[in-house]
Structure 1
Amino acid sequence: MTKIKKTGLGNVTPVVPRQFRDPTPVPTSQLEVNISVTDLYTIGIGPSSSHTVGPMRAGRRFADLLIASNLINDCSRIIVELYGSLALTGHGHGTDIAILLGLSGEAPSKIDPESIDTKINAIRTNHLLPLGGQKEITFYEADHLLFLKDQILEEHSNGMRFYAYSEAGELLAEKDYFSVGGGYVVSHDEGDRSETRGHNIQLPHPFTSAAELLKIGKEKNLTIAEIMKENETAWRSEDETNEFLDRVSSAMINCIQRGCDTEGILPGGLDVKRRASSLYKELMANPERASRDPLTVLDWVNLYALAVNEENAAGGRVVTAPTNGAAGVIPAVLKYYQRFCPGVTEDGTRNFLLTAAAIGSIYKKRASISAAEVGCQGEVGVACSMAAGALTAVLGGTNEQVENAAEIGMEHNLGLTCDPIGGLVQIPCIERNTMGAMKAINAARLALAGDGTHVVSLDEVIETMRQTGIDMLSKYKETSQGGLAVNVVEC
């Protein structure tokens, strides 16, 4: 570390973590950013959107910067520093692997999960990194990829700092990136909080809150899904949006099936056994079970969520919805709708995803979907809220009932901590997705049993979640320094 500092990296002073600072209003710039369905759902790899997908994108973005700046030929050394939650739980979340792949020019949406081990083994064996896929440079992880567990950058706890040096030790480029949840990567000068760069997009129906969303629906006589669909036309045609939604739903369902078909032990050292396959076989072998036990449908929902999050824990192909840690909730509730609810249509599936995305975009604008920032209430809690509102919509609920269901879904996830054992997205993450899916279904049923009127609004519960996240101790925010992570002896 001392040697690296001598080459001009400078000292990084630890700052006061967010949770110890006074609550501040949501920045206007954050509220003004337009968020598309393509930002809420991205097809990538596990196990974490913020710790795997985001860092991989950051690594590739830095490599692309060197290429675009004509610096790659002069570069002979890369140094990467990881801060906060990325440093504390990065090994368990595969952040080291993600950084190597990103710097090699790989993208989470395109890389074949089956090829990852081969690529990483080659880098670690030969100590050569194919920077940007164009030039091999010497790379020793112990010296060039640093986990600074006692430091945090001010902007966000998921901070990364990249440096590029010439053979003579001259600093060619320096860049900070922040993985703010859901695979989003932001930096100081780029200023974007989404992959679609929505700052200058003019939406037909802009909204920054649930109250505004309900007002638009009432004035324009539109459902929430219709509002979101018309907004998407600012980026692309309706046919293109439908094609994207169909790809997302197919990826979700395919992920469920892969999880049902795969047996074995999850990687990471906890020796967690995959359970989806055995549960699937049991349910398929006893089709009459439902006639004896009316709650069998819950076993199927559990199965769907388990299947997705076991795939995620194994580094498989999943849909970030809105994060990887919560990737099983929305697919499980969507599959429940498709299999067990009446009147299912192709448009129903699209409207489910559109409604969920509208709700998720409000959370991103007004609070956070990053467990490192607000705990698991920002991941499973948000996914539960999104799924609850979406299910209510496709079952015929009014916009007011949709908003009510989304509020219920979050209200009963407030304060949910993120304390993964061993820094792995396995315990309690996998089972937590089953609970999130169940809560979403129940929230929808409660909302549909009412008329949409209720005391606590969705906007109020989102603000409560944000404030709760500020108050939550850092050890409960994806650091593996508290909760189950320290009270369960690892085997």
Structure 2
Amino acid sequence: MQREQISVFDIFKIGIGPSSSHTLGPWRAAQQFTASLMNSKLLYEVEQIKILLYGSLAKTGIGHGTDIAILLGMSGADPVTFDVNAITPTIDIIKTEQRLFLGGAHEITFSYTEDLIFLYQESLPFHPNAVTFQAFLTTGEAFSETYYSVGGGFVVKDGENDSEKEQVELPFPIEKAGDLLHWCLTTGLKVSEVVMENELAWRTEAETRERILQHFKVMKECTFRGTHSGGFLPGGLNVGRRAAALNKKLIGGRSYTDYESWIEAIRAGGNSFNYTLDWVSCFALAVNEENASFGRVVTAPTNGAAGVIPAVLQYYIAFCDGFTEEKIIQFIACASEIGCIFKKGATISAAMGGCQAEIGVSSAMAAAALTECLGGSQRQVMMAAEIAMEHHLGLTCDPIGGLVQIPCIERNTMGAIKAITASQLALQSNPDKAKVSLGAVVNTMWETALDMNSKYKETSDGGLATNIPISLPEC
């Protein structure tokens, strides 16, 4: 059986919020279906499209923008490059004019209310996040494909699996935490160095470095934009954005003109515990407020948890002198491998495992990366990841109103702080005396996911989603 091979750029993807599994994944599925029509030379034969959303995609699809993502994907837009300011007018045209340009090339009549179908009480067995595309042709025949959005923007076509892509020869194949530790101890390489060696199987080192820095550019632009954008989040909950006001308060009148001078202004404020803690929260809030506003973010490893890694990385840059290309690349490379291990051994989908699979995994990734960049050993790196996840086990996903806002945005601040704490604990500990391994916590997370009631898996059928009236303000 082929093993799943995951690159840095499978774990970290550039996309548009608010959800990797409910927005980015369905967007990619729509693109793949349109490509299938093109490859089968059927695109111009299509006269009608029906889109069926199942399970979690149906129950929280509106709040997560699943409908918007699919229509944009069907229209030929790409989440990496599409102008986020054009989202609303593009969707408004589709709805009001009742027409859709498949692949940006073939116009068909499309009714948002009749052709986009939410099957709230139906789920497909493979995964809760399922969408079926049906194309009805001028010949009277139909062409249909089903896709599953399995978390983190990963998409699996029905009848295929994650491993059915071109296999490469990895110098250090890794399926579980024990494999990673084996290669690190055998070679003496850091986790990030093992990752960079494996990435050579896909592209040159220069290309990998360049792409990692492109992803960091999106992270820092998102953070900076989020700390300078006020108002309210879309979706009807009337949740006010807080990062901008917090940024203004913390910066204390110090002047800056861009991201680099902003970092210098932050450093000039000192490094007291409260000050540092407030900035970590500000960084995380900024990213996830942007995510909730259909902004461009980097899945890390998901959109709902996109603020944890940027927040910890910004902490490292602003308060630990980590503002060098080499350190940023090291941080992101190391974090990616921990995400890969959880993806292979458990899940990074809240619809499968609750929020432990998103905030928990992102916190583990950030803890490991920070530990390595601060000089921790390979065992301490893995210990930090284990500590962070151990204290997220059982975390439910219960978004109020099906929106990636409450409690999701604040949870990113918690995940970031736990990551920093886990890193500090690991750096001050002897991993040889640890009672719990990273491999054990991955297995435990998956077992917990299987036992968790479905109402706590991104359905908004339980927890805060049913106990907090939507009209209440955020607390």
Provide TM-score, normalisation by structure 1: 0.91
**Match of residue 188, structure 1, among 148, 158, 177:** 158
Cα separation, 2, equivalents of 1:344 and 1:480: 40
User: What is the deviation of 1:190?
Assistant: 4.5
Q: Determine if contact 2:45/2:139 at 8 Å carries over to the other structure.
A: no
User: What is the deviation of 1:143?
Assistant: 1.4
With over 3 angstroms needed to count, the CA separation of the structure-2 counterparts of 1:221 and 1:132, relative to structure 1, is same
Aligned residues: CA RMSD = 1.6
With over 3 angstroms needed to count, the CA separation of the structure-2 counterparts of 1:201 and 1:422, relative to structure 1, is same
**Match of residue 238, structure 1, among 201, 205, 216:** 205
Partner of residue 135, structure 1 = 106
User: What is the deviation of 1:112?
Assistant: 1.0
Cα separation, 1, equivalents of 2:298 and 2:183: 29
1:266 aligns with 2:266: no
Residues 262-321 of structure 1 deviation map (CA, whole Å, 9 limit, x = unaligned): 010000000000000000000011679966953210000000000000000000010011
Cα separation, 2, equivalents of 1:79 and 1:378: 31
Secondary structure, in 3 states, of the residue corresponding to 1:295?
Answer: helix
User: What is the deviation of 1:166?
Assistant: 1.8
Partner of residue 420, structure 2 = 441
1:86 aligns with 2:65: no
User: What is the deviation of 1:200?
Assistant: 1.3
Q: Determine if contact 2:251/2:269 at 8 Å carries over to the other structure.
A: no
Secondary structure, in 3 states, of the residue corresponding to 2:118?
Answer: strand
Cα separation, 1, equivalents of 2:271 and 2:328: 30
Q: How many aligned positions are there?
A: 458
Partner of residue 75, structure 2 = 104
Q: Determine if contact 1:265/1:271 at 8 Å carries over to the other structure.
A: yes
User: What is the deviation of 1:64?
Assistant: 1.1
Secondary structure, in 3 states, of the residue corresponding to 1:200?
Answer: coil
Q: Determine if contact 2:291/2:297 at 8 Å carries over to the other structure.
A: yes
With over 3 angstroms needed to count, the CA separation of the structure-2 counterparts of 1:450 and 1:130, relative to structure 1, is same
Partner of residue 277, structure 1 = 244
Q: Determine if contact 1:51/1:90 at 8 Å carries over to the other structure.
A: yes
Cα separation, 1, equivalents of 2:135 and 2:338: 40
With over 3 angstroms needed to count, the CA separation of the structure-2 counterparts of 1:168 and 1:355, relative to structure 1, is same
Structure 1 unpaired stretches of 5+: 1-27
Amino acid at match of 2:294: G
Cα separation, 1, equivalents of 2:227 and 2:323: 23
Amino acid at match of 2:109: T
Q: Determine if contact 2:316/2:322 at 8 Å carries over to the other structure.
A: no
Equivalences for residues 167-246 of structure 1 within 5 A: 167=138, 169-171=140-142, 173-192=143-162, 197=165, 199-246=166-213
Equivalences for residues 40-59 of structure 1 within 5 A: 40-59=11-30
User: What is the deviation of 1:132?
Assistant: 1.0
Partner of residue 379, structure 1 = 358
Secondary structure, in 3 states, of the residue corresponding to 1:73?
Answer: helix
1:414 aligns with 2:387: no
Q: Determine if contact 1:184/1:193 at 8 Å carries over to the other structure.
A: no
1:367 aligns with 2:346: yes
Cα separation, 1, equivalents of 2:271 and 2:382: 35
Amino acid at match of 2:184: G
Q: Determine if contact 2:304/2:404 at 8 Å carries over to the other structure.
A: yes
Partner of residue 352, structure 1 = 331
Partner of residue 6, structure 1 = none
Q: Percent identity?
A: 52
User: What is the deviation of 1:222?
Assistant: 0.6
Secondary structure, in 3 states, of the residue corresponding to 1:387?
Answer: helix
User: What is the deviation of 1:142?
Assistant: 1.8
Q: Determine if contact 2:5/2:163 at 8 Å carries over to the other structure.
A: no
Provide TM-score, normalisation by structure 2: 0.94
Cα separation, 1, equivalents of 2:291 and 2:197: 32
**Match of residue 489, structure 1, among 438, 463, 469:** 469
Residues 186-224 of structure 1 deviation map (CA, whole Å, 9 limit, x = unaligned): 113453459xx3x51110111111111111111111111
Cα separation, 2, equivalents of 1:99 and 1:343: 39
Cα separation, 1, equivalents of 2:352 and 2:342: 13
Partner of residue 306, structure 2 = 327
Cα separation, 1, equivalents of 2:374 and 2:271: 26
1:120 aligns with 2:100: no
